[in-house]
């Protein structure tokens, strides 16, 4: 079963080579405008939080979150989500379930992330198009 475990700063430090490589892969794939060190700095500053996805005793990926205050409550923003090649697709529903559990524990109203999907890369008025995904947290 996939679990999502919080990482403190010391845990991030111990895993930084692994996390940095994963963050760099995300940046390369999405042409994001930040560096892995920016993620590390925000975690150290306490304005971003890291979690590791584990399957049994094996760490298969990680997620870095920030918080966004919406007028009606908290949104958690998935800044970086990365998994080892071949591990995420078959465990996607478990990973989403762990994310939902975390969102409910934070009393978040919604989970938000964005992506620059293929086919949306054309320029419009000098800006790149990205899609924002948002999902309300189910408390039922």
Is 60 exceeded by the pLDDT of residue 8? yes
CATH (domain of 95): 3.40.630.30
What's the confidence (pLDDT) of residue 84? 85
CA neighbor of 81 nearest in space, from 120, 134, 27: 27
Give φ, ψ of 65 to 5 degrees.
Answer: -115, 155
| Residue 109: strand, helix, or coil | coil
pTM listed for this prediction:
0.86
Q: How many domains does the chain have?
A: 1
Q: Give me the pLDDT at residue 120, please.
A: 44
pLDDT, tens digit (0-9, with 9 covering 90-100), for 94-139: 888 888 999 999 999 999 988 765 544 555 555 566 778 888 998 8
pLDDT digits (tens, 9 = 90+) for 12-70: 999 999 999 999 999 998 888 899 999 999 999 999 999 999 988 889 999 999 999 99
Residue 132: domain span: 2-136
Q: Which long-range contacts (CB under 8 A, 24 or more apart) does 46-51 make?
A: 48/79, 49/6, 50/6, 50/7, 50/11, 50/12, 50/19, 51/4, 51/5, 51/6, 51/7, 51/102
H or E stretch including 96? helix 92-105
């Amino acid at each position: 079963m996939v679990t999502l475990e919080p990482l403190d700063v010391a845990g991030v430090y111990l895993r930084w080579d692994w996390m940095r490589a994963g963050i760099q892969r995300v940046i390369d794939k999405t042409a994001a405008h930040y560096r892995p060190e920016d993620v590390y700095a925000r975690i150290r500053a306490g304005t971003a939080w890291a979690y590791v996805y584990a399957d049994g005793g094996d760490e298969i990926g990680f997620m870095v979150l920030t918080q966004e205050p919406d007028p009606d409550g908290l949104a958690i923003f998935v800044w970086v989500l990365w998994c080892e090649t071949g591990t995420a697709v078959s465990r996607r529903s478990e990973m989403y379930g762990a994310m939902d559990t975390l969102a409910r524990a934070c009393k978040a109203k919604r989970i938000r992330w964005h992506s620059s999907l293929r086919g949306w890369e054309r320029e419009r008025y000098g800006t790149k198009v990205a899609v924002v995904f948002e999902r309300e947290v189910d408390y039922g």
